[in-house]
């Protein structure tokens, strides 16, 4: 039945209700025998009430409402519409007919119309809900949070076609006053401490966390409880996303490993950030990569005068360009296909566009790959960085922010060592440059291309096994958006020469991470999906550090950013060493690693 057909049916039912209600009221008033005078009045009153009440119902938009989603608000509006219509009808018949309708008839007509019209709509809602009746084979759902949000999610489950194969079982809420109460007809079964028992007792397939205002730590605690139950866990968006309108309240998403980090959202000093980025020409190298593309998104939101997206791969640059054009149509974008190893091309880019702020995210980052291809790591991570830094210095950019890595600390890999040499170079050039050169050092980011989480998901999708290098291996993790926000914030704190270290929270065991990903995918580790240990790869360490012994940290005005003590380096001496170092490019791995060891004394190759 189409929308117009449904509304026409409701209108016809309303007209019948008006006539039936008025007819019954007259029959009751006169004990079943209506005098001729009042019989004529009854017909006139019913006709007049049909017109006036119909207009009133239309005025209150009673025929533009989806009654299967009706709530107390719709009921109140219906009462208003009928009340207004009946009062106007009562007055109109007195003016037009000259005789007053007995008050008992008018009152009873009003009562019957409220009962019948409200009842018909409630019946319609009941029919619509029951049409989505669940079978015994349906997915049983448990909602965590019996507040306003939980009630809205429950209504969505009951009425949406997306949940036609699902059955709402009840709620969980920590409020002791809600236990054994009912919300939208479903019981509050207990608190979060009872989730495991509730899941087993009611054979729950899906758990929905519906508390958008909870802290990250609280959400993490609930996820940790849920993930051992074997049920699939979904979560509604954060309250900030709902308020901003970027995500609808009823939009459910799968719980991701990022939710288990438990850290509160990063707070940004927008005024400070706006001061050095807004209305400036900003260059992002490696703009098509995981970090570079997120940098581009967040910088675009701060309204730079021009945003230069530089990358070597045309497809990735095209993708981020199209995304930013759609999201930020007023931002002037310039796409630059260039290799940072090409000194002349990088010089040309700086000469043409004169970027005032440079975020250098282009780098080779895969540890085992760079162990097998050390010359490429040197050319890209060291001499590519040198080319960009030299151009920033030559054309007097205001700030240069380099993305570094925790693997640069006491490096055991070629990748880490090349990032450390890049840090050393920008610290040395900062001494005499008008440009403020800084590096930002952090650990692994969740979800970046080639990182561990996507790899685990691929292995799970193919049925396993999930491979972990070593049972004791730990890493620092943070999400891409929070890492990038802190990078941009660190740029605002730059004085020149600093290495900013981001607070990565507690290190995470890779084995625990693998188990979490398996559970959040709806499987049981070592039962449904096996975990195997593949052994440490070349260049890897069991744990990463964020500081060398010679670097002490000082706090900044941002609680999540620290500064490693700058090391004084002679730029001319380092330039000379790099010219010597350049000669080993293309040599065998042993020769290259020996050269690295001479340049980076604390480099310790374990392969």
Which is nearest to 348 in space by CA: 359, 335, 338? Answer: 338
DSSP 8-state code for residue 449: T
Sign of CA dihedral 314, 317, 323, 329: negative
Cα–Cα distance, 596 to 417 (Å, whole number): 7
Which is nearest to 444 in space by CA: 504, 361, 360? Answer: 504
Q: Look at strands 561-564 and 553-555 and give their pairing.
A: antiparallel
Active site (annotated) includes residue 155: no
Residues 6+ away with beta carbon under 8 Å from 322: none
Provide the CA 373 distance to its chain's centre, in angstroms.
36
Secondary structure of residue 469 in the 3-state scheme: coil
Percentages helix, strand, coil for the chain, rounded to the nearest 5?
A: 50, 15, 35
From the list 227, 280, 365, 407, the catalytic residue is: 407
Largest CA distance in the chain: 118
Residue-wise over 566-597: b if at least 16 C-beta within 10 A, else e?
beebebeebeebbeebeebeeeebeebbebbe
Compute CA distances 564 → 280, 439, 496, 500, whole Å: 28, 10, 12, 6
Specify whether the CB–CB gap between 258 and 479 falls below 8 A. yes
Cα–Cα distance, 530 to 532 (Å, whole number): 6
> In sequence order, which ranges of 501-588 are alpha helices (DSSP H)?
510-520, 571-582
DSSP string, 320-379: HHHHHHHH-TTS-EEEEE--TT-HHHHHHHHHHH--SEEEE------HHHHHH-HHHHII
Catalytic residue ranges: 407
């Amino acid at each position: 039945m189409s929308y117009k057909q449904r509304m026409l049916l409701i209108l016809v039912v309303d007209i019948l209700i008006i006539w039936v209600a008025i007819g019954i009221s007259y029959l009751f008033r006169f004990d079943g025998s209506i005098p001729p005078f009042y019989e004529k009045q009854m017909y006139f009153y019913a006709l007049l009430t049909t017109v006036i009440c119909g207009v009133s119902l239309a005025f209150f938009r009673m025929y533009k409402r989806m009654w299967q989603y009706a709530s107390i608000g719709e009921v109140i509006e219906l009462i208003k519409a009928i009340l207004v219509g009946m009062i106007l009808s009562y007055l109109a018949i007195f003016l037009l007919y000259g005789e007053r309708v007995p008050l008992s008839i008018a009152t009873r007509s009003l009562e019957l119309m409220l009962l019948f019209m409200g009842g018909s709509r409630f019946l319609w809602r009941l029919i619509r809900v029951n049409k989505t009746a669940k079978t015994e084979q349906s997915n049983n759902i448990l909602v965590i949070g019996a507040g306003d949000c939980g009630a809205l999610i429950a209504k969505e489950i009951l009425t949406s076609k997306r949940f036609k194969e699902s059955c709402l079982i009840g709620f969980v809420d920590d409020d002791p006053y809600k236990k054994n109460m009912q919300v939208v007809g479903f019981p509050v079964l207990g608190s979060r401490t009872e989730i495991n028992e509730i899941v087993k007792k009611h054979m729950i397939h899906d758990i929905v966390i519906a508390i958008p205002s909870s802290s990250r730590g609280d959400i993490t605690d609930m996820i940790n409880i849920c993930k051992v139950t074997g049920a699939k866990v979904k979560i509604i968006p954060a309250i900030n996303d709902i308020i901003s309108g970027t995500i609808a309240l009823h939009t459910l998403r799968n719980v991701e490993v990022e939710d288990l980090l438990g850290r509160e959202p990063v707070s940004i000093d927008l005024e400070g950030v706006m001061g050095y980025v807004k209305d400036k020409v900003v260059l992002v190298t490696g703009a098509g990569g995981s970090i570079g593309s997120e940098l581009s998104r967040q910088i675009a939101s701060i309204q730079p005068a021009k945003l230069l997206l530089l990358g070597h791969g045309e497809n990735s640059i095209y993708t981020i360009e199209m995304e930013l054009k759609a999201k930020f149509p007023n931002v002037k974008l310039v796409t630059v296909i260039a290799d940072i190893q090409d000194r002349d091309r990088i010089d040309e880019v700086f000469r043409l566009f004169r970027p005032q702020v440079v975020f250098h995210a282009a780098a080779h980052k895969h540890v085992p790959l760079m162990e097998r291809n050390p010359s490429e790591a040197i050319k890209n991570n060291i001499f590519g960085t040198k080319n960009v830094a030299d151009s920033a210095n030559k054309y007097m950019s205001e700030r240069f922010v380099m993305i570094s890595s925790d693997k640069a600390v006491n490096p055991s890999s070629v990748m880490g060592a090349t990032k450390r040499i890049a840090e050393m170079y920008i610290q040395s050039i900062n001494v005499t440059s008008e440009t403020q050169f800084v590096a930002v050092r952090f650990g692994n980011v969740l979800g970046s291309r080639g990182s561990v989480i996507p790899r685990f998901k691929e292995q799970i999708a193919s049925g396993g096994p999930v491979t972990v290098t070593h049972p004791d291996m730990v890493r620092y993790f943070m999400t891409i958006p929070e890492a990038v926000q802190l990078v941009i914030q660190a740029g605002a704190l730059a004085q020149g020469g600093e290495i900013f270290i981001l607070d990565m929270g507690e290190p995470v065991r890779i084995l625990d991470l693998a188990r979490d990903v398996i559970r959040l995918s709806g499987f049981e580790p070592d039962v449904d999906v096996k975990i195997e240990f593949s052994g440490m790869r070349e260049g890897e360490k069991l744990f990463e550090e964020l500081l060398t012994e010679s670097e002490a940290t000082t706090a900044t005005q941002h609680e999540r950013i620290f500064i490693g003590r700058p090391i004084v380096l002679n730029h001319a001496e380092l330039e000379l060493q790099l010219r010597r170092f350049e000669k080993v490019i293309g040599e065998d791995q042993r020769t290259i690693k020996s050269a690295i060891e001479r340049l980076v004394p604390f480099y310790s190759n374990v392969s």
